[in-house]
């Protein structure tokens, strides 16, 4: 009988990981250590081809669906109806974003798939197949909404909706995917028996606590409001101040008030306006149109509701003070718990590997949140230095990356041998 | 002896005017009655060719200088050293601007030149030549600063500076002029003996007073500050509020405070922020960079100085509250009187034509302000309905346009017969 090594101690997986991580980070590499790799850009196309080539070299079958999600399926179980264990994240970045956000989870998934395939070839037996996934347009920077690819996978959005999202230059996601040869025609795989995502924390809790691994137990709720103020163009010189209908002034009142709302609940409510479009945006013209995105986030249902009501009042008052009209299109992401059985599996794997772990919230949205409630879903964080995120200065130490990789290897190994069941995988322990 | 008709009663001039005005308004015509004809755009090129063709058909020699200013010189005096009387304005528009702003003065100048040339051919004698001018990039919308072409003519800017100004897409004025074949090599004419500009009021005073003609006696001072806030990109979700360095929040504080400054001196101080650039401008990223243009205008020196000091304090406080750094680049246009002799000439001509007139300030900058102090300069307003400006809804009734045209004809006729001297022209009265 062949000796089956524990994949979580597979040094080849660590080498695979670093090699692919560096190759992906080179796609859209920016001057200060980050990446400029917005969804379906040329740099994203390059990263996607690098990912697909690594998957194929490792023995996976690569499928690309109608919205460009890439699935690398490793046939481990040798039966057509085997359940699927899925691991992944996204390769797209924010403008001048970090090289770890998203890419970590995708690259780790490819390395895990390759290690499991090596184990199979060495004689290991599996009761589930494995899929490494790259979701399209997680960031919502170039195309809105965010989580678009994972939202298509779960049926929240249909392909026509996703493909028709347009960037600020009017290019649709469909056109952009065509331009980089990444609009596919393959059927997506079925919902997995278990989905895991490895991500950098983008916050300070792990670093402050000196912990290796974050087990995400809850996601913050978010209220997102697309606000449009409509005023009237006028000359900034002669037009009397009381007659002005200044849409940018309304936006300024709202942005200042949104900050004040967060300050009412320190540490409990986060608010932001990250994006604003102004027309005609000429120095001598009173702005007539402003569109902006207001976000209010909290982990407390009652507080989020109250902050949301204050936000709605702030929008109306800003419009009234600036004598403009307003429309507000509100969407909400509820506060939810992640399933205990998956969290327990992650904690058990961390313990088995001697890694310290800590329960965390996620404030940011992640593709895992798209799948939450539809299948057993887990989200695993590793530390980010200084909590820096959406910034080229984002950094996670190699040892922390490797801890995350080994944890995923351990969890995926157990899951794929346990038919995808988190409960059985938690009990299973190490290699056969 | 040939009968010489009074040009101000030249019906052909009125016909010329309307025909050319409509042809120019068709260049870049927008959906709601205005024009989209920013400087050196394709539509501007079309308007420039329409203007040049009308000048040539009327017997002028057209020169285009290094920055694209167009001069139509009518040789009326038949001697090489004759003084020059100049009338003009600009053909470029704001984004979705009105069809009267600027175009009125340029089209009127062409019609006046044609009428004077007809008078010369009918036997009238002149002691000055006449020039109809279209100044490049008055608006400062596509390229900054505003008044760029007239500033080149007066020596405030050199050609290299003007041609290197870039729009938001990085296209320079030089490249844009080349693209429409409007970068010239002709020497500009010398400073005129007298410069006049006809413009719509862009305010409510004439309409409120029921007056036909505004004689501009004074221009408001303006402080313009290019402000740049520099913060730090961060994730709008997990990044703790106290750690954020949000450049857009700083801008919001400043925009709100700029309005409060104007409200301290109702009717005496106008403030505005019409233009703002935000980076990276992504919904999930705390903005790290904002550039904006702050304007503070007043006709009172002491008030302007005090409002300017408050503005400087508001900039610093906004940066401090939002925990960002700031740079501010300030320029100033002083409060100045327009020369009495030119104002008296305009008033005398209005009186001779039976037009009611009223002394006014100009709050907006105009090309005439570039020439102010360098040669006798006059600025003439006709009413704008509702004071609407920098807006497609801008409107001036045909009768008011014709009043302005006839006034310019009368003034230019007198000036060109009086060697360009406003004093002698004021005394001269009607036709020979």
pLDDT, tens digit, for every residue of A12-44? 999 999 999 999 999 999 999 999 999 999 999
Short-list A364, A223, A225, A390, CA closest to A293: A225
- Residue of A390, A392, A393, A394 to mutate, interface with B, max B Cβ within 10 Å: A390
Nearest-CB residue to A241 (from B222, B270, B391)? B270
The Cα–Cα gap between A283 and B147 comes to: 13
Which residues of B are less than 8 Å from A293 in CB distance?
283
A234 → closest Cβ in B239, B241, B391: B391
Give the confidence band of B6 by pLDDT, cuts at 50, 70, 90.
low
Which of B254, B256, B364 is facing A253, going by the closest CB pair? B256
Partner-chain contact B389 A234, CB within 8 Å = yes
- 100-129 in chain A: CB under 8 A from chain B: none
- Chain A nearest-CA distance from B424, in A, is 33
Closest-approach residue (CA) in chain B for A251? B252
Instruction: For residues A271-292, give the mean pLDDT.
Output: 97
State the burial class of residue A218 (Cβ atoms within 10 Å of its Cβ: 0-12, 13-18, 19+): middle
Interface of B with A in 180-239 (CB under 8 A): 201-204, 220, 222, 224, 232-239
B361 pLDDT higher than 80: yes
Q: What is the mean pLDDT of residues B318-345?
A: 97
Task: Supply φ then ψ for residue B427, to 5 degrees.
Answer: -75, -25
Burial track A347-361 (b if 16+ CB lie within 10 A, e otherwise): bbbbebbebebbebb
Residues 6+ apart with CB under 8 A from B243: A387, B234
Domains and CATH numbers, chain B: 7-219+336-428 (3.40.630.10), 221-333 (3.30.70.360)
Please name the residues between 289 and 308 in chain B that touch chain A, using a CB distance below 8 Å. Answer: 293, 295, 297
Please give the residue that has the higher pLDDT: either B395 or B431.
B395
Mutate to test the interface with B, among A236, A335, A366 (most CBs of B within 10 A): A236
Say if residue B9's pLDDT is above 80: no
Q: Give mean pLDDT, residues A41-57.
A: 98
Which pLDDT belongs to residue A428? 86
Interface residue B241 vs chain A (CB under 8 A): yes
State the Cα–Cα distance between residues A294 and A223, nearest whole angstrom: 8
Calculate mean pLDDT across residues B170-185: 98
Q: Where residue A1 falls among pLDDT bands split at 50, 70, 90? A: very low
Please report, rounded to a whole number, the percentage of residues in chain A having pLDDT higher than 90: 96
Q: Is A390 one of the annotated binding-site residues?
A: yes
Across the interface, do B248 and A273 touch by the CB < 8 Å criterion?
yes
Residue B407: CB partners within 8 Å, gap ≥ 6?
A: B8, B198, B213, B346, B349, B350, B353, B355, B380
Please indicate if the annotation marks B390 as binding a ligand.
Answer: yes
Nearest C-alpha of chain B: how many angstroms from A67?
21
Residue A365: what are its φ and ψ, rounded to 5°? -75, 150
Please state the ipTM of this predicted complex.
0.94
Of the partner residues B255, B270, B287, the one whose CB lies closest to the CB of residue A249: B255
Closest-CA distance of chain A to residue B295, Å: 8
Q: Name the band, by pLDDT with cuts 50, 70 and 90, for residue B300.
A: very high
């Amino acid at each position: 009988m062949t000796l089956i090594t524990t994949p979580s101690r597979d040094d080849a997986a660590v080498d695979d990981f670093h090699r692919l991580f560096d190759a992906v980070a080179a796609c859209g590499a920016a001057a200060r250590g980050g990446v400029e790799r917005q969804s379906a850009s040329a740099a994203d196309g390059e990263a996607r081809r690098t990912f697909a080539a690594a998957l194929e070299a490792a023995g996976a079958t690569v499928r690309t669906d109608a919205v460009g999600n890439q699935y690398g399926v490793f046939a481990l179980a040798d039966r057509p109806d085997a359940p699927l264990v899925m691991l992944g994240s996204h390769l797209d970045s924010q403008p001048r974003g970090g090289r770890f956000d998203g890419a970590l989870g995708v690259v780790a998934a490819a390395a895990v798939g390759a290690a499991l395939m090596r184990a199979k070839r060495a004689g290991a037996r599996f009761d589930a197949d494995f899929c490494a996934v790259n979701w399209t347009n997680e960031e919502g920077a170039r195309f809105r909404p965010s989580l678009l690819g994972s939202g298509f996978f779960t049926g929240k959005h249909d392909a026509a909706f996703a493909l028709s999202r347009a960037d600020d230059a009017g290019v649709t996601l469909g056109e952009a995917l065509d331009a980089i040869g990444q609009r596919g025609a393959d059927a997506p795989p079925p919902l997995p028996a278990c989905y895991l995502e490895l991500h950098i924390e983008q916050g300070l809790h792990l670093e402050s606590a000196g912990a290796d691994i974050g087990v995400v137990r809850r996601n913050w709720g978010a209220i997102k409001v697309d606000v449009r103020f409509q005023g009237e163009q006028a000359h900034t010189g002669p037009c009397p101040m009381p007659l002005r209908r200044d849409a940018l002034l309304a936006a300024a009142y709202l942005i200042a008030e949104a900050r004040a709302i967060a300050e009412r609940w320190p540490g409990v409510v986060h608010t932001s306006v990250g994006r604003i479009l102004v027309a005609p945006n000429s120095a001598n013209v009173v702005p007539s149109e402003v569109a902006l995105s207001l976000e209010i986030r909290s982990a407390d249902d009652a507080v989020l509701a109250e902050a949301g009501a204050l936000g709605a009042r702030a929008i109306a008052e800003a419009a009234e003070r600036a004598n403009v009209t307003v429309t507000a299109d509100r969407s909400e992401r509820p506060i939810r718990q992640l399933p205990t059985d998956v969290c327990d599996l992650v904690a058990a794997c961390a313990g088995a590997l001697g890694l310290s772990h800590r329960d965390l919230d996620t404030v940011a949205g992640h593709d895992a949140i798209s799948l939450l409630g539809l299948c057993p879903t887990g989200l695993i964080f590793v530390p980010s230095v200084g909590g820096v995120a959406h910034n080229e200065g984002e950094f996670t130490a190699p040892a922390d990356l490797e801890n995350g990789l080994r944890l995923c290897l351990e969890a995926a190994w157990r899951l794929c041998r346990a038919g995808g069941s988190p409960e059985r995988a938690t009990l299973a322990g190490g290699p056969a």
